[in-house]
């Protein structure tokens, strides 16, 4: 745990996942204020909008926060320069090879954790020089590996495969999951779906309600141009899945590209509702501080009681 908190500069080894527009400045700041690492999702941003977002977060907290860079985003190098200019110290990278950005990010003075779905890719990420890896299991919402491994199986395999710190992601939403991740050898956790269901989240109220009303089997993995996505079943998806394979894939891809608009401004049936399998287990919207305190303190109690 100490390795992750030293790397991030946070009180708790709890990180925020990349949540697109759902991760507005209020949520990023709230997570950092609570002792975790808030994370700006840079997808869809240019240099000016990222600079503005960083400044807005800094108006609400003086604690550390980071950002996510999608490797496949052609704007990623320019965005990295803004992060360094604005003294953001920690970056998670995803959706592409860590070899593309890691050296440049280090040259800019940034710490790098790469999101990986397998032990093999964790080893390659370490060989690329990353400072840590986020082992993301198939329970997670949003982008998936075509050969996803469950978090319970993935984390110990990754821990054995690398020497850098490992953060567990996918299906972690409470103190039990936090304790389990640490027992498996992870040094921290990354939260996604659980943070969507916080008061500070920018998700549309109907989006949040759809997650709270979900059952344990109400998410599904669907095809998309960049890779599979785990999303919540809704009317949009029902209509789309009736299309032939290629039009279906195209419609889902277009909906993914519109996600930053639909997730905050439109009905939960207007587009994709990305969510992890833990959505059905979360039944209340709480402040981010309450969520993180409950996970960190409750998880410590569980581990110490064993």
pLDDT digit string (tens) for the chain, length 306 residues = 568 899 999 999 999 999 988 999 999 999 999 999 999 999 889 999 999 999 999 999 999 999 999 988 889 999 999 999 999 999 999 888 888 889 999 999 999 999 999 999 999 999 999 999 999 999 998 888 888 899 999 999 999 999 999 999 999 999 999 999 999 999 999 999 999 999 999 999 999 999 999 988 999 998 888 889 899 999 889 999 889 989 989 999 988 888 888 888 877 777 889 999 999 899 999 999 999 999 999 999 998 876
Q: Radius of gyration of the chain from Cα atoms?
A: 18
Give the residue extent of every domain in the chain: 2-201+283-305, 205-279
Q: What is the pLDDT of residue 270?
A: 74
For residue 287, give Cα distances in angstroms to 33, 37, 50, 167, 277: 11, 15, 25, 23, 21
Q: Global pTM?
A: 0.92
Extract the runs of DSSP E, i.e. beta strands, from 140-268.
142-143, 166-169, 188-191, 219-222, 229-232
The neighbour count for residue 140, using CB atoms within 10 Å, is 29
Q: Quick one: pLDDT at residue 305?
A: 78
Domain at 2-201+283-305, CATH from 3.40.50.300, 3.40.50.2300, 3.20.20.70, 3.90.550.10: 3.20.20.70
Task: Indicate the SS3 state at residue 40.
Answer: strand
Q: Up-side HSE of residue 45: CA atoms within 13 Å toward CB?
A: 27
Give the pLDDT score at 306.
Answer: 64
- Condensed to tens digits (0 to 9), the pLDDT of residues 172-209 reads 999 999 999 999 999 999 999 999 999 999 999 999 99
In whole angstroms, how far apart are CA 54 and each of 12, 47, 60? 21, 11, 10
Other Cβ atoms closer than 10 A to 281:
16
- Which of helix, strand or coil describes residue 128? coil
């Amino acid at each position: 745990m100490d390795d992750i908190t030293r790397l991030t500069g946070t009180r708790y080894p709890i990180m925020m996942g990349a949540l697109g527009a759902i991760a507005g400045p209020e949520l990023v700041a709230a997570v950092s204020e609570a002792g975790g690492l808030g994370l700006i999702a840079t997808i869809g941003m240019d240099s000016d909008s990222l600079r503005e977002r960083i400044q807005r977060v800094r108006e609400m907290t003086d604690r550390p926060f980071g950002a996510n860079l999608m490797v496949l985003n052609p704007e990623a190098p320019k965005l990295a320069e803004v992060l360094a200019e604005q003294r953001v110290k920690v970056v998670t990278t995803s959706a592409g090879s860590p070899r593309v950005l890691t050296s440049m990010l280090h040259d800019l003075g940034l710490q790098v954790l790469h999101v990986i779905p397998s032990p093999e890719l964790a080893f390659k990420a370490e060989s690329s020089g990353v400072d840590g890896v986020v082992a993301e299991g198939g329970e997670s919402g949003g982008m998936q590996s075509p050969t996803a491994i469950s978090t319970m199986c993935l984390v110990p395999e990754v821990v054995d495969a690398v020497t850098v710190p490992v953060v567990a992601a996918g299906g972690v939403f409470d103190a039990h999951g936090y304790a389990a991740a640490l027992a498996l050898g992870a040094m921290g956790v990354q939260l996604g779906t659980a943070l969507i269901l916080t008061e500070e989240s920018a998700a549309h109220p109907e989006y949040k309600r759809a997650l709270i009303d979900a059952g344990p089997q109400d998410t599904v993995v669907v095809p998309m141009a960049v890779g599979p996505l785990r999303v919540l079943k809704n009317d949009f998806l029902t209509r789309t899945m009736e299309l032939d394979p290629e039009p279906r894939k195209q419609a889902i891809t277009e909906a993914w590209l519109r996600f930053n608009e639909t997730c905050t401004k439109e009905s939960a049936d207007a587009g994709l509702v990305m969510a992890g399998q833990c959505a059905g287990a979360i039944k209340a919207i709480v402040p981010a501080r309450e969520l993180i305190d409950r996970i960190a303190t409750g998880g410590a109690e569980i581990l110490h009681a064993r």
